[in-house]
Amino acid sequence: MKQSRQFLCALGLVFTTLGSAQAIPLSTLLHGGSITAGDKLFSDWSFTYAASDLGHSHRIFNPASIDVTALNDGGDNPGPGLQFDVSSGELSVTGNGVYAYVDLQLGFRVTVLDPTRQIKDNSLSLGGLFMPYQHDGDNDTGAYILETVGTAAFTDNLGVKEVEGSVLDEITTFALTDSAEFLPQSEIWVSKNILAWSVDTTDTASLTQFTQRFSQTVPEPGTLALLCIAGLAGCLARNCPRFSRP
């Protein structure tokens, strides 16, 4: 008799403390919305979607089932970021005996609001992956994210990252974090191709959470001093008569 086995990957823990951050449905972001984490503005969201059973009533992409939450607890390194929480099986698939899959590509722009906090690196992590499969030595199921970072939309001149959790013929692959290093940037474009797949009808792959961070430069003491002086001068010019024009 075949035995069943389940793998539950929960890096970062689904119960990560997020403070008072409010989740925003991906559907809102795709309709011109934006979200801010620290001084980083995430905007210009876009997507494409494909699935092996696209067109069936149970496989219509619903971006409202993906919540995006700002992460403000990373300081300068790993920096602010985003957490994506997936519900209602939006990125889940059960095998069809051939090759069943869901494939979502997301793109967005990251803009620095504070010029002293430029983006210098970024990281990506799989935080929730559930793979129940039949323990029979013949499996092919998992989830994978390929992410590119560039200075323009859908380019990769700043870096490429890959994370994966999968089972192939009882051999498990867990490469759950990856990062890219690049020179400080005031604006970057991120594109992620998210794939969940399964072959056997007894096997399922379900991606429920992933996160990413954007580390940032630390202001030089001299830069901070100049900003303080400029701010003080502006304040005096507005409020002190001797700094005002006659």
Structure confidence by residue, pLDDT tens digits, 132-188: 999 888 899 999 999 999 999 999 999 999 999 999 998 999 999 999 999 999 999
**What confidence tens digit (pLDDT) does each residue in 104-124 have?**
999 999 999 999 999 999 999
Inform me whether the pLDDT recorded for 95 exceeds 50: yes
The amino acid sitting at 190 is: V
pLDDT at residue 233 is higher than 70:
no
Mean of all residue pLDDT scores within the chain? 85
What is the value of pTM for the model shown? 0.83
Checking if the pLDDT of 85 tops 50, the result is yes
* Predicted pLDDT of residue 60: 86
Give phi and psi for 11, each to the nearest 5.
-60, 140
